[in-house]
Structure 1
Amino acid sequence: MMRTIGIIGLGHVGMTTAFNVVAQNLVDQLVLFETNTAKANAEFLDIKDALGAVPQQQTQIIMNDYSALKTADCVVFAAGQGDATDDGDRNSEIKTTKKAVDEVLPHLLSSGFHGVLINISNPCDVVTAYWQEKLTLPQNQVIGTGTMLDTNRMRRGVAEALHISVADVAGYNLGEHGESQFTAWSTVHLLNQNEQAVKDLDQAAVEKAARLGGWTIFDGKHYTSYGIAMTAVELIKAVMSDSHQIYALSYFDTAVQTYIGHLGKVGKHGIVEALDLTLTAAEQQKYQISAKIIRENLAKMKTL
């Protein structure tokens, strides 16, 4: 069966995602969408040039053809003006991202697409919720990267502080992919079982660094790309392989009635199982605050 994915929006993140899909030989058809004609042509030629360097590469690259998405396994939405925000709040991107969604929506609807939509664009939880309402796909088939990248930033911070491998750090950041996210320290542990080391950390500093990680990168190069692109690739692989791998990603939580970063098992149909964590009372409160912020910003998006 033909393995097909689409990537909508070929900015820094969208194109880095596309490159990694090709480099890892993940699909048979890669359908790319970009409204800037000159950029679309340039990226098409550039990524075609890369194909020859990948062993046994037979990926077909298709440009700006929504009909090719009818049987696609998943579509990654990476459009919007993500590099236009410099105030430290991803919710400032609501207006530009909503415009991008509204422009793409009729084309995606008419394509007959019925796979898994993976949203990258910010504000991630809000935009993912908006997509689900407009596409009318089942909630499990519309997901966002959520706090996956934030979780990885936290794990890196713990590993660097303790001088261990990031592979030996487990745990999650939850809530909004934004300023109200939090590290659920009750879930953080080391595979070497040295739990006291985690307790002795400057947890506030590690959590702050994870929360501000994107802005630290943004300040230096005015965009982020590698971390979020590889996060998207992880979700693509989970869908394509039906891996049932667990991530802290954005999907609908019935308990708080919104899309929000929490644990879910991902397979070929998106979320195949919702998972619950036993959080402390303080963590539960932070989660509720995050959910309220997301709901409020979704309401704001709908009025624009």
Structure 2
Amino acid sequence: MAHDVVRIGIVGMGHVGPHVASALVNWGIVDELYVSDIDEDKARAECLDLTDSTAFAPRPARIFDVGADYEALTRADIIINTAGDITKVATSRDGELYGTTDIARTFVGRIAAAGFEGFWINVSNPCDVVTRLVHELSGLPASHVLGTGTSLDSARLRRAIAQKTGLSIQSVDAYMIGEHGASELAAFSQVSIAGKPLHELAAERPEQFGFSGDEVERDGVLGGYDVYNVKHCTEYGIGAAAARIAAAIVRGERAVLPASVRLDGQYGQSGFYISTPAVIGADGVEDIYELHLTDTEHERFLSSCEKVKHNYELVREHAVRVS
């Protein structure tokens, strides 16, 4: 039997976009991939390079170069936004605040006007702010718009815990929550391995599990800069994170993944995007899980919420000034 054709578009083919595309092709997630960039020569070259890679992919995939013809992306089931300027995040993910939001305004509305009814996955930073803007410009339900948020930060946290314990990263259940940025935090009280809370394991085997949250949270918050300060970009991890979220949607997985989603009463907060574990499936964001945080963790999460809301107000004021 023929399967449904999966169509995915990517806006922005700088460092991250091509790695998202490569993961989608090499994991066998996509049948038709549409690549878009304002630098049409770059988009064309990436299209050719990706097409060459399909000879080794697990299933056939066709790659289409649409350049800056954003309306062509309405053919896609999912559009992934990676457009931005990586050089502006050298010291903070907020460095792209005005640039990425201005860029998003050049294409999200056009795509909406052309009739796009699928899903948006935003990667561009500051992720929570840009994701909220994409939601507002798209006219889509909040469940159809989400960001990679702390998905990669959570992977970095899990990697740090795996290195401390000597276990595989796949065996660690742990989440970074809040802003994808400096105010995010490790929900350390909720870390578990084999269904057993880390604090119980620490009491039983302090030599293996008796480390503090501060020791591993640092990698979740700043691990990206360990890479950026040498490579001047991060690409593999975030490319895989975006592809993983896309896979959960197109396969209807109902996978629990950390992502930037619009809160609707969780943690006593509503109306803006920030990261927490969410159920992601065929209908996009199908449920949002509120973790049982300690008082200190809850206070830090609320502080992170205020940071994200403040940044969005700055963007709103900027739009009024330049309009």
- Fold conserved (TM > 0.5)? yes
The yes-or-no answer on 1:299 pairing with 2:310 is: no
The alpha-carbon deviation at position 248 of structure 1 amounts to: 1.4
Q: Among the aligned pairs, what percent are the same residue?
A: 31
Is the contact made by 1:22 and 1:59 (CA closer than 8 Å) also made in structure 2?
A: no
The alpha-carbon deviation at position 262 of structure 1 amounts to: 0.7
| Matched position secondary structure for 1:43 | helix
Is the contact made by 2:122 and 2:147 (CA closer than 8 Å) also made in structure 1?
A: yes
Is the contact made by 2:89 and 2:95 (CA closer than 8 Å) also made in structure 1?
A: yes
For the structure 1 residues 99 and 295, does the alpha-carbon distance in structure 2 shift closer, same or farther, using more than 3 Å as the test? same
- For residue 107 of structure 1, the aligned residue among 110, 132, 136 is 110
How far apart are the structure 2 equivalents of 1:135 and 1:56? 31
The alpha-carbon deviation at position 199 of structure 1 amounts to: 5.8
| Matched position secondary structure for 1:186 | helix
How far apart are the structure 2 equivalents of 1:203 and 1:27? 38
- For residue 159 of structure 1, the aligned residue among 154, 158, 162 is 162
Paired AA for residue 95 in structure 2:
S
| Matched position secondary structure for 1:39 | helix
The yes-or-no answer on 1:268 pairing with 2:282 is: yes
Paired AA for residue 241 in structure 1:
R
Q: What do the CA deviations read for 1:196-239 (whole angstroms, capped 9, x no partner)? A: 15761132121112210111110010000001110001101001
> Which residue number in structure 1 is paired with residue 269 of structure 2?
256
The yes-or-no answer on 1:83 pairing with 2:87 is: yes
| Matched position secondary structure for 2:128 | helix
- For residue 46 of structure 2, the aligned residue among 43, 47, 56 is 43
> Which residue number in structure 2 is paired with residue 72 of structure 1?
76
| C-alpha RMSD of the superposition | 1.6
Equivalenced residue count is 303
For the structure 1 residues 49 and 291, does the alpha-carbon distance in structure 2 shift closer, same or farther, using more than 3 Å as the test? same
The alpha-carbon deviation at position 138 of structure 1 amounts to: 0.8
The alpha-carbon deviation at position 129 of structure 1 amounts to: 0.8
Is the contact made by 2:43 and 2:65 (CA closer than 8 Å) also made in structure 1?
A: no
The alpha-carbon deviation at position 66 of structure 1 amounts to: 3.5
- For residue 208 of structure 1, the aligned residue among 209, 214, 218 is 218
Is the contact made by 2:128 and 2:180 (CA closer than 8 Å) also made in structure 1?
A: yes
> Which residue number in structure 2 is paired with residue 235 of structure 1?
245
How far apart are the structure 2 equivalents of 1:141 and 1:56? 27
| Matched position secondary structure for 2:5 | coil
Q: What do the CA deviations read for 1:55-86 (whole angstroms, capped 9, x no partner)? A: 54243434234444334221100001123321
**Larger deviation, residues 140-149 vs 197-206:** 197-206
Alignment of 1:4-19 (within 5 A): 4-19=7-22
| Matched position secondary structure for 2:191 | strand
Q: What do the CA deviations read for 1:127-178 (whole angstroms, capped 9, x no partner)? A: 1111111112111111001111111100100110111111121121110000
Alignment of 1:93-132 (within 5 A): 93-132=96-135
The alpha-carbon deviation at position 44 of structure 1 amounts to: 1.4
Is the contact made by 1:91 and 1:123 (CA closer than 8 Å) also made in structure 2?
A: yes
Runs of 4+ in 1 over 6 A off after TM superposition: none
The alpha-carbon deviation at position 291 of structure 1 amounts to: 0.3
The yes-or-no answer on 1:195 pairing with 2:201 is: yes
Q: What do the CA deviations read for 1:76-135 (whole angstroms, capped 9, x no partner)? A: 000011233212x11111111012101112321233111110000000011111111111
Is the contact made by 2:66 and 2:72 (CA closer than 8 Å) also made in structure 1?
A: no
Paired AA for residue 274 in structure 2:
I
How far apart are the structure 1 equivalents of 2:58 and 2:295? 52
- Unaligned runs of at least 5 residues, structure 2: 319-323
| Matched position secondary structure for 1:52 | helix
**Larger deviation, residues 29-38 vs 119-128:** 29-38
Is the contact made by 1:153 and 1:213 (CA closer than 8 Å) also made in structure 2?
A: yes
How far apart are the structure 1 equivalents of 2:278 and 2:46? 34
- Unaligned runs of at least 5 residues, structure 1: none
| Matched position secondary structure for 1:113 | coil
Q: What do the CA deviations read for 1:235-259 (whole angstroms, capped 9, x no partner)? A: 0100100100001111111232221
Paired AA for residue 301 in structure 2:
Y
For the structure 1 residues 300 and 42, does the alpha-carbon distance in structure 2 shift closer, same or farther, using more than 3 Å as the test? same
